[in-house]
Amino acid sequence: MTSAPPHVVQPFINRELSLLEFNRRVLEQAKDETVPLLERLKFLCISCSNLDEFFEIRVAGLKQMIKLGTALVGQDGITPSELFAEISNRAHALVVEQYRVLNEVLIPALEQEKIRFVRRSEWTAEQDAWLRAYFQNELLPVLSPLGLDPAHPFPRILNKSLNFIVSLSGKDAFGRNIGYAIVQAPRALPRLIQLPREVAGTGPYDFVFLSSVIHAYVDELFPGMQATGCYQFRVTRNSDLLVDESEAEDLLEALEGELSQRQWGNEVRLEVAHNCPDQMSQYLMEELSLGPADLYQCHGPVNLNRLMAIPDMIDRPELKYAPFVPRVPKALGGDLFAAMRKHDYLLQQPYDSFTPVLDLLRQAAKDPNVLAIKQTLYRTGAKSPVAEALIQAARAGKEVTVVVELRARFDEADNISLAEALQEVGAHVVYGVVGYKTHAKMMLIVRREDQAGAAPGALRYYAHLGTGNYHPKTARLYTDYGLLTSDQAICKDVHAVFLQLTSLGKVSKLHRLLQSPFTLAKGMRDRIEREVAHAAKGKKAHIIAKMNALVEPEMIQALYQASQAGVQIDLIVRSMCSLRPGVPGLSENIRVRSIIGRFLEHSRVFYFANAGDPELWLSSADWMERNLFRRVEVAFPIHDRKIRERVVEQLHAYLDDTASSWLLQPDGSYQRAPSEAGAKSVQIKLLDEITGSV
What DSSP line would sit under 80-120, residue for residue?
HHHHHHHHHHHHHHHHHHHHHIIIIIIHHHHHHTTEEE--G
Evaluate whether 428 touches 435 at the Cβ level (below 8 Å): no
* 607-635 pLDDT per residue, tens: 999 999 999 999 999 999 999 999 999 99
pLDDT at 92: 98
Q: What is the mean pLDDT of residues 562-571?
A: 98
CA atoms within 13 A on the CB side of 327: 17
Evaluate whether 375 touches 390 at the Cβ level (below 8 Å): yes
- The per-residue b/e assignment along 183-210, b for 16 or more CB within 10 angstroms, e otherwise, is bbbeeeeebebbbeeebbeeeebbbbbb
DSSP type of residue 57: I
Evaluate whether 372 touches 394 at the Cβ level (below 8 Å): no
Amino acid identity of residue 79, one-letter, is T
Q: Do domains 15-319 and 516-691 have the same CATH topology?
A: no
Q: What percent of the chain has pLDDT over 90?
A: 72
pLDDT at 243: 41
* 328-343 pLDDT per residue, tens: 998 898 899 999 999 9
Residues 6+ away with beta carbon under 8 Å from 523? 514, 635
Domain extents for the chain? 15-319, 330-507, 516-691
The dihedral sign for the CA sequence 112, 117, 121, 126: positive
Amino acid identity of residue 180, one-letter, is Y
CA atoms within 13 A on the CB side of 4: 18
pLDDT at 418: 79
Evaluate whether 664 touches 574 at the Cβ level (below 8 Å): no
pTM value > 0.95: no
Residues in the chain: 694
Residues 6+ away with beta carbon under 8 Å from 46? 26
Q: Does domain 330-507 have CATH number 3.30.870.10?
A: yes
CA distance 243 to 11: 35
Q: Does domain 516-691 have CATH number 3.30.870.10?
A: yes
Count of beta carbons in the 10 Å neighbourhood of residue 487: 21
pLDDT at 187: 87
Amino acid identity of residue 208, one-letter, is V
* 295-328 pLDDT per residue, tens: 999 999 998 998 999 999 999 999 999 999 999 9
Cα dihedral: 417, 419, 425, 426 (round 10): -160
Query: Of 215, 439, 464, 602, which one is the catalytic site residue?
Result: 439
CA distance 532 to 520: 19
Return the CATH fold of 15-319. polyphosphate kinase like (3.30.1840)
152 is catalytic: no
Q: What is the mean pLDDT of residues 132-150?
A: 89
